[in-house]
Amino acid sequence: MKTIEMREAGGPEVLEIGSRPIPQIQPGEVLIKVIAAGVNGPDLVQRRGHYPAPKGASDLLGLEVSGEIVATADRVTEWAVGDTVCALTNGGGYAEYVAVNATHCLPVPKGVSATDAAGLCETYFTVWSNLFFEHKITPGDLLLVHGGAGGIGSTAVQIGALLGLDVYATCANQDDCNYVNSLGAKRAINFESEDFVEVVRTAGGANLILDIIGGDYVARNIKAASPDARIVQLAFNAGSKMQINLMPIMLKRLIYTGSTLRSRSDGFKAAVAIDLRAQIWPSFAQGQLAAQTHRVFNFENAADAHLMMQQAQHRGKLLLSPCL
């Protein structure tokens, strides 16, 4: 089968076409013939050599796919050969075929194409599990989303608006601001010309903050948070080492947390999949949510896709397809 390989750790140019045998599925797994695979931030980090695959996982990049199930192993009862699904993988998505835990698959939502569905699972599992899954959400609370125009950000904006939150989102330019407003944000903040701390504090402070930036945003998020707020850190694009005053966390009774999805247990991911299917997936058919595909690249142009994401030149999701 065709694959996208890393010849070494480095920039986008290290990605090249390769070939491997089709994976052998284990009990509880399905084999998916890939229609498309999503490109995500962790792929770029792994490509640079800083996010190695977990023990037992494929060393190929790719944490989400869509495609057709072409084989099922023992203990699989939910799916059958011929079903079209989207799935969270533990690696291996940059290939024509991938073996996936059957409980991490979801049906392609009504109203979403099989190709576009490839960009749903990584961001929806991540946003839902960190912000909303098993957490009490109060409509009218202020959710601050950093990087609102990207894959994680556009997902968080849509879900937050769906649940009745007042969503504020930071963006790099006016076009991105217009984009996140179209997704349901109450207020887009152009961080080149506005101070998000001032904007959010004027609105009463943020009850929930989703940050992928890190760096000096850590201290600024604490300042922007209202008492009893929750701050969720999902990445550190501007760095993870800084000197900050932690006293406001105590005085405001803040919760500062974060996680990586890939390291969570299979059981946890299965529980998130069940909750997404019940709570969120119907909203696609109702037109309240939409896949946000910026561009689909063929496998041969994977380096271009990584470069586009690295330079933040996209809105929503970038996909790779072996079918183009």
Per-residue HEC secondary structure of the chain comes to CEEEEECCCCCHHHEEEEECCCCCCCCCEEEEEEEEEEECHHHHHHHCCCCCCCCCCCCCCCCEEEEEEEEECCCCCCCCCCCEEEEECCCCCCECEEEEEHHHEEECCCCCCCCHHHHCHHHHHHHHHHHHCCCCCCCCCEEEECCCCCHHHHHHHHHHHHCCCEEEEEECCHHHHHHHHHCCCCEEEECCCCCHHHHHHHCCCEEEEEECCCCCHHHHHHHHEEEEEEEEECCCCCCCCCCCCCHHHHHHCCEEEECCCCCCCHHHHHHHHHHHHHHCCHHHHCCCCCCCEEEEEEHHHHHHHHHHHHCCCCCCEEEEECCC
CATH number of the domain at 274, please.
3.90.180.10
Same domain, 157 and 188: yes
State the residue range of the domain holding 293.
2-120+262-321
Q: Are residues 108 and 151 in the same domain?
A: no
Residues 116 and 135 in one domain: no
Co-location of 140 and 243 in the same domain: yes
Tens-level pLDDT at each residue, the chain (324 residues):
999 999 999 999 999 999 999 999 999 999 999 999 999 999 999 999 998 888 889 999 999 999 999 999 999 999 999 999 999 999 999 999 999 999 999 999 999 999 999 999 999 999 999 999 999 999 999 999 999 999 999 999 999 999 999 999 999 999 999 999 999 999 999 999 999 999 999 999 999 999 999 999 999 999 999 999 999 999 999 999 999 999 999 999 999 999 999 989 999 999 999 999 999 999 999 999 999 999 999 999 999 999 999 999 999 999 999 998
CATH, residue 140? 3.40.50.720
Q: What global pTM score does this model have? A: 0.95
Number of structural domains the chain divides into = 2
